[in-house]
Amino acid sequence: MLSKHPLELPPGRKLSREEVADALRLSIIAELDAISLYLQLARAIEDERFRRVFEDIAREEKTHVGEFLALLKNLDPEQVEELKAGAAEVQELTGIAAPDPPPANGEPFSEEEWRYLRGEFARAANSVRVFRNFLPVTRVGRGVLSVPLEKPGEGVAMLPLVELAVKFRVSQSAIDYSRASKQPLEISDALRAAVELGLAEDKAVLKALSEARGVVEHSISDWSTPGAAVEEVSRAVAKLIGNNAAQPFVLFVSPARYAKLLAVHEKTGVMDLTRVRALAEVVSTPVLPDSIAVLVSASQRVLDLVVGADTEVEYLGPEDGQHAFRGWET
């Protein structure tokens, strides 16, 4: 043991601020000792597969040192000044400067790495979004919490924007490898979260459309019979026009229903999809169950999709040896 076990305390007593600082110092010592051990073992291991595991764990331990040191700096201002004085003395004696990285919103990434992460995250989210590609969109910007909604005969009501959020992580080892190898950053967990965010948006839009006042419901078959979809969509379009809805119309269906529209009508030799598209644009989305199809007027005087914060990515901080991020929108 390098020092007294920090948990040898009377039961029930909490650590004071000074004791927490001591616990952080002990933790830093333990992490540095672990790093030295793992690197020594790695150098002694011939099998590259096993050596890489030890090296990867050592890099994770270095992240832990940074986490503990960040907390210690917050608890012990005197320690901060001592670190600065030590760095200044080293620079004076040796000419070697080793300042802390400047604080920035982009930590732990460089500006270029941030652009890559945000760009790939947005592309992944957009790849699964459906509704915003076919409905009129109004962008109000980040920071707007609600928008006015005018209801005929009832005045103006404020409609709150819904916040959607996902969380993902990027390991420090992935960052180190990307910088050393000059390869793109490994962000598979970020791309997973982006897809999750895009699908969550479409589910929220579907819920809003389904619960909107004035929705007209119309029973439909399973479209197994050729021509059934054409007849049913025709009746639904007629109902919308009868309620003064304006073109263009968009029909959202599940992938299974979309596949059924590919059936060719025997009498005409034309796919049902082609005939339905004469009435409305047809779009497939996985958020719709097979039992439901949604036909809407894509005119801005009928509805619009309000976007506030759009596919934002923010750094939360170190977590379990990795870097945690939050992707969100309103």
Could you give the 3-state DSSP secondary structure of residue 191? helix
Q: How confident is the model at residue 217 (pLDDT cuts 50, 70, 90)?
A: confident
Distance between start and end Cα atoms, the chain: 52
Return the bridge partners of 307, or none: 139
Mean per-residue pLDDT, 285-313: 91
Buried b (16+ CB within 10 A) or exposed e, 275-284: bbeebbebbb
pLDDT of residue 5: 57
Q: How confident is the model at residue 67 (pLDDT cuts 50, 70, 90)?
A: confident
Distance CA 274, CA 226 (A): 12
Distance CA 110, CA 56 (A): 21
Q: How confident is the model at residue 175 (pLDDT cuts 50, 70, 90)?
A: very high
Mean per-residue pLDDT, 3-7: 54
φ, ψ for residue 291 (rounded to 5)? -80, -5
Residues above pLDDT 70, as percent of the chain: 92
Q: Examine the pLDDT at 13 and tell me if it is beyond 90.
A: no
Mean per-residue pLDDT, 17-35: 86
Q: Which helix (H) or strand (E) holds 306?
A: strand 305-307
Q: How confident is the model at residue 124 (pLDDT cuts 50, 70, 90)?
A: very high
Mean per-residue pLDDT, 79-97: 77
Return the bridge partners of 284, or none: 253
pLDDT of residue 76: 80
DSSP string computed for 71-105: HHHHH-HHHHHHHHHHHHHHHHHH----PPPPP-T
Segments in 170-251 forming alpha helices (H):
172-181, 188-211, 228-242
pLDDT of residue 130: 95
Query: Do 250 and 280 contact (CB within 8 A), yes or no?
Result: yes
Residue 256 neighbours by CB under 8 Å, 6+ apart: 290
Mean per-residue pLDDT, 15-34: 85
Q: Examine the pLDDT at 204 and tell me if it is beyond 90.
A: yes
Q: 245-261, pLDDT tens digit by residue?
A: 888 999 999 999 999 99
Question: What sign results for the dihedral spanned by CA atoms 86, 92, 96, 98?
Answer: positive
Q: Would you state the structure tokens that stand for residue 13, as one six-digit string?
A: 């007593």
Distance CA 329, CA 310 (A): 5
Distance CA 133, CA 127 (A): 10
**Angle, CA 188 vertex, CA 185 and CA 190 arms, to 5°:** 90
Mean pLDDT of the chain: 86
Could you give the 3-state DSSP secondary structure of residue 125? helix
Q: How confident is the model at residue 6 (pLDDT cuts 50, 70, 90)?
A: low
**Residue 48 DSSP one-character state:** H
Q: Which residue is it, tokens 């109902």?
A: 239
**Angle, CA 327 vertex, CA 139 and CA 115 arms, to 5°:** 85
**Do the strands 137-139 and 305-307 form a parallel or antiparallel pair, or are they unpaired?**
parallel
Q: How confident is the model at residue 14 (pLDDT cuts 50, 70, 90)?
A: confident
Q: How confident is the model at residue 232 (pLDDT cuts 50, 70, 90)?
A: very high
pLDDT of residue 107: 65
Q: Examine the pLDDT at 7 and tell me if it is beyond 70.
A: no
Q: Examine the pLDDT at 178 and tell me if it is beyond 80.
A: yes
Mean per-residue pLDDT, 258-272: 83
pLDDT of residue 161: 92
Q: Which of 147-161, 187-201, 230-244, 309-323 has the lowest mean pLDDT?
A: 147-161
Neighbours of 237 (CB within 10 A): 19
